[in-house]
Amino acid sequence: MRNVTHAAVLLGAVSLALPLGMPAANARSSGVEKTLKAADTDNDGSIDLKEATAAAEALFDKLEKDKDGTVDTKELQGRVSKKDLKAADPDNDGTLDKKEFLALVEQRFKAADPDNDGTVDAKELKTAAGLALSALLK
């Protein structure tokens, strides 16, 4: 009876823990799928730099609400850390113009493409570098 009780407690704990861990994995997969669906215009299952740039340009235009030609920390909505913003901002004005934003996208694209095949697939998008790239595409 004691073993049955321990087994029931263990099974209950596992069943409670599974749903808690699932959303994060599903969210990551869902985010990757959304990025691929939005950016993979030739539907080959991967994103090349041209597709990434096109998606990033569209996002920049959407985020740039005050129409001053730049995006600031508020407009970026957490997509870029303060440290990354500073590194991507050579004129040190606290904002990114479209050219600076696209340079950051290219840098993140290269980081997300460790095999240097010129594309980023779903597996690569699930990495930390891929997720950082994804944040600038959707």
Give the separation between CA 77 and CA 126, rounded to whole angstroms: 21
Q: What is the CATH number of the domain that holds 89?
A: 1.10.238
Domain assignment of residue 74, yes or no: yes
At residue 118, does pLDDT exceed 80? yes
Q: Is residue 9 part of a domain?
A: no
Does some domain include residue 127?
yes
Cβ distance 111 to 129 under 8 Å?
A: yes
| pLDDT digits 0-9 by tens, 62-94 | 999 999 999 999 999 999 999 999 999 999 999
**Domain range holding 95?**
25-134
- Give the range among 11-25, 60-74, 91-105 with minimum mean pLDDT: 11-25
Q: How far apart are alpha carbons 15 and 131 in whole angstroms?
A: 29
Instruction: Report yes or no on 3 lying in a domain.
Output: no
Q: Is the pLDDT of residue 104 over 50?
A: yes
Q: Is 96 left (phi over 0), alpha (psi -120 to 50) or beta?
A: beta
Number of domains in the chain: 1
Indicate whether 13 belongs to any domain: no
For residues 5-17, average pLDDT = 38
Backbone angles phi, psi at 101, to 5 degrees: -60, -45
- In percent, the amount of the chain with pLDDT more than 70 equals 79
Taking all residues of the chain, what is their mean pLDDT, rounded to a whole number? 85
In a domain, 99, yes or no: yes
Q: Judge whether 6 lies within some domain.
A: no
